[in-house]
């Protein structure tokens, strides 16, 4: 296990901070899946994003414009 991985008690504490207290019998399963997701998404840290903005965006006034269509 790498040092970046969460132990079951750490996963429980993180979940608690997120407002999701977990029963003790879920700590190990949640830690395992959280560590898996982390290992998948961590690959994105290789990318140099420069000034690239996130794709999520909105157009001010869009809804009024749309409603009039």
Partner 1 sequence: MRPFELSLTAVAAAIRARDLSPVELVDSVLDRVERVEPLLDAYVAIAAEQARRAAREAENELAAGRDRGPLHGIPMGLKDLIDVAGTATTASSRVRAEHRAEADSTVAARLRAAGAVLVGKTHTHEFAYGLTTPQTHNAWDRDRVAGGSSGGSAVAVAAGAATFALGTDSGGSIRVPAALNGVVGLKPTYGLVPRHGVTSLSWSLDHVGPITRTVEDAALVLSALAGHDPRDPASLPAPVQDYRPRPGALGGLRVGVPRNYYFEHVDPEVETAVRRAVDELENLGARLVEVEIPMARYVQATQWGLMAPEATAYHERTLRALPDRYEADVRVLLEAAELMPAGDYLRAQRARTLMRQEWARMLAEVDLIAAPTVPATAVPADQQTITWPDGAVEGVTDAYVRLSAPANITGVPSLSVPVGHDRAGMPIGMQLLGRPFGEATLLRVGHAYERSAPVRALAPVV
List alpha helices for 1-69, DSSP H. 8-17, 27-41, 62-68
Instruction: Give which of 65, 11, 60 is closest to 37, Cα–Cα.
Output: 11
CB of 39 to partner 1, least distance (A): 9
Expressed in angstroms, the distance from the first to the final Cα of the chain is 56
Greatest Cα pair distance in the chain: 57
- Name which of residues 10 to 69 contact partner 1 (CB under 8 A): 11, 14-15, 18-20, 22, 26, 29-30, 33-34, 36-38, 40-45, 47, 49, 52-56, 58, 62-63, 66-67, 69
- The binding site for partner 1 (CB under 8 A) comprises 6, 11, 14-15, 18-20, 22, 26, 29-30, 33-34, 36-38, 40-45, 47, 49, 52-56, 58, 62-63, 66-67, 69
């Amino acid at each position: 296990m790498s040092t970046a991985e969460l132990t079951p008690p750490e996963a429980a504490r993180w979940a608690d901070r997120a407002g999701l207290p977990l029963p003790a019998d879920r700590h190990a399963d949640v830690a395992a899946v959280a560590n898996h997701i982390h290992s998948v998404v961590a690959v994105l840290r290789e990318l140099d994003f420069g000034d690239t903005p996130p794709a999520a965006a909105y157009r001010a006034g869009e809804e009024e414009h749309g409603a009039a269509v």
